[in-house]
């Protein structure tokens, strides 16, 4: 299957600082990327859908000014958690889809964010 690389795999930051998470499709061009958040022992919650060259579409209840998404190329999307607070601590996962008839979404390894 296709490879999606997410970096970093874990990060610890202080309250009030910003953290950037990168998601790269390594062997295919991803017209659409998705960002999820996952709490312990819970399923994935979609935060936003990112389309290359256009603004991201955020799910209800997700603050777009706090979770900045940039999809500047067909192989890279970034999620920036701005002014992080302890309640932002979570597991963040990106996924990417090639488009066309291929509907499978492939996931990155996830990023464990801890805000202290």
Sole binder of other proteins in the list 14, 60, 86, 103 (CB under 8 A): 103
Q: Which of 97, 98, 113, 115 is the binder for other proteins (CB under 8 A)?
A: 97
Nearer of residues 20 and 91 to other proteins, judged by Cβ: 91
With binding defined as CB under 8 A, does residue 105 bind other proteins? yes
Q: How far is the CB of 83 from other proteins (least distance, A)?
A: 26
Interface residue with other proteins among 61, 86, 100, 104 (CB under 8 A) is 104
Q: How many CB atoms lie within 10 A of CB 7?
A: 14
Q: 2: Cβ–Cβ under 8 A, 6 or more apart, which residues?
A: 25, 26, 27, 28, 96, 98, 104, 106
Q: Which residues in 27-59 are b (16+ Cβ under 10 Å) and which e? A: ebebbbbbbbbeeeeeebeebbbbebeeebebe
How many residues make contact with other proteins (CB under 8 A)? 25
Question: Interface mask (CB under 8 A) for other proteins, residues 43-82, using x and -?
Answer: xx-x--x-------x-------------------------
The residue among 17 and 27 lying less far from other proteins, judged by its C-beta, is 27
DSSP class of residue 42 equals S
């Amino acid at each position: 299957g296709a490879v999606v690389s997410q970096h970093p795999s874990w990060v610890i930051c202080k309250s009030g600082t910003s953290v950037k998470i990168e998601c790269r499709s390594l062997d295919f061009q991803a017209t659409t990327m998705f960002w999820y958040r996952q709490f312990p022992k819970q399923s994935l919650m979609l935060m936003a859908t990112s389309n290359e060259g256009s603004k991201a579409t955020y799910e209800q209840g997700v603050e777009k000014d706090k979770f900045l998404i940039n999809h500047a190329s067909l192989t890279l999307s970034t999620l920036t958690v701005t002014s992080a607070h302890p309640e932002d601590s979570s597991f963040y996962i990106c996924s990417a889809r090639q488009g066309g008839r291929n509907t499978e979404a492939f996931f990155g390894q996830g990023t464990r964010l801890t805000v202290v």
